[in-house]
Amino acid sequence: MTGYLKQSPPALQFVTFFGFFIGFMLIYNTALMLLMEPLTGHTLEGLQLGDIKDPNLIAYLKITQFLYSIIVYLVPAGLFAYLWQPNPWRYLGLKPAPTAIQILLALMAMISVTWFSGFTGDWNQTWNVPQAARDMQQQAEKLIATITRMPTPKDLVINLILMAIVPAVTEEVFFRGVFQRLLIKSTNRVWLSVFLSAIFFSFIHFEMLGFVPRVVLGFTLGAIYVLSGNLWLPILAHIMNNGYLVVMLYLFQHGHIKTDPAKDTPVAWYIGLFSLVVTIGLLWALRRKSTPMDMTDPAPPVDKDGIHSIGMDENQ
């Protein structure tokens, strides 16, 4: 395995990973600024701040969100995993497939923690943040409201792909599959690393008034990965969390439900506490039904004679 990143010091691995991240983010942002106005007749800022009604312009906004997830998150993480060792799928925790009971427990934990997350969100809304942060939050909410207009079932399917499936896969590969794992290797402190990864996950969304609940959700996703050793579980939990909101918005827009899911509903402290206890119990049950994530670098396969296998098929 000479020449793979796994043989490099953790600090160099971090530098390499963040170099990929910053580099591809710069490529994405530069291309967006250069191409958006020639393609649409509008600047990117104008599209984000304006009240967009044209379906074609909304389609361009959706394409930019899709490309952002792929270029900024998936490509750097996938490239790092490919260079790390000959079996990137196993490095990321994408093999083997999870069992049905693992999937059920992971999804139940994600559902349960939403009430505790909502309780922390109520507190987060009381923060005395700068007006610039509030303006940025309102701009993000306005952009999301524009993108999530779904007059037809086709729009619902497209938004489920662009706002639930694609972000869940790309963000989990980036934040849990690589970043969290690098932190664990560097610090040898598992739960501190899960917490720091959740903070970075929330910070990168640039929403101060939604910072704490996103940390809670990020920590839960990180815990699911650590306790199960399988990245498919936080991916599925993330898809469910995002997909539920998209479906509820569609139902609200078409008058099938009366409550706007985009507006927060206050959560009583005792419901939040009960939610937290149930979530911990579900995560404990997931740990019992799983092989926990290996906190060290995966060793190469060993044959029956005790000799490391070289050049094995990475799909095995």
Render pLDDT for 273-303 as a digit per residue (tens, 0 to 9). 999 999 999 999 999 999 876 655 544 444 4
Mean pLDDT calculated for residue range 2-14: 79
- DSSP symbol at 107: H
Phi, psi (degrees; rounded to nearest 5) at 189: -125, 100
Cα-to-chain-centroid distance, residue 35: 27
Please check whether residue 118 is in contact with residue 272, taking contact to mean a CB–CB distance below 8 angstroms. yes
* Alpha helices (runs of H) in the chain, residue ranges in sequence order: 10-40, 44-49, 55-68, 75-84, 88-92, 100-124, 131-147, 153-160, 166-171, 181-187, 190-203, 211-228, 232-253, 269-288
> Would you place residue 136 in the very low, low, confident or very high pLDDT band (cuts 50, 70, 90)?
confident
Indicate the pLDDT class of residue 41, thresholds 50, 70 and 90.
confident
Identify the band that residue 47 occupies on the pLDDT scale cut at 50, 70 and 90.
Answer: low
Helices (H), 262-308: 269-288
What is the per-residue pLDDT for 10? 84
Catalogue the long-range contacts made by 4-10 (C-beta closer than 8 Å, 24 or more residues apart): 4/83, 4/84, 4/85, 4/86, 5/80, 5/83, 5/84, 5/85, 6/84, 6/85, 6/297, 10/182, 10/185, 10/186
Q: Is 257 helix (H, G, I), strand (E, B) or coil?
A: coil
pTM of the model: 0.88
Distance, in Å, from the CA atom of 272 to the CA atom of 113, rounded to the nearest integer, reads: 8
Check residue 146 and give its pLDDT.
Answer: 83
Domain regions of the chain by residue span: 5-288
What is the model's pLDDT at position 264? 80
Which DSSP letter does residue 285 get? H
The pLDDT of residue 46? 66
CA nearest neighbour of 245 among 294, 197, 210: 210
Q: Residue 104 and residue 90: Cα distance in Å, rounded? A: 22
Question: pLDDT digits over 260-273, tens only?
Answer: 888 888 999 999 99
Least reliable range by pLDDT among 74-78, 93-97, 188-192? 93-97
Cα–Cα distance between 15 and 164 in angstroms, integer? 30
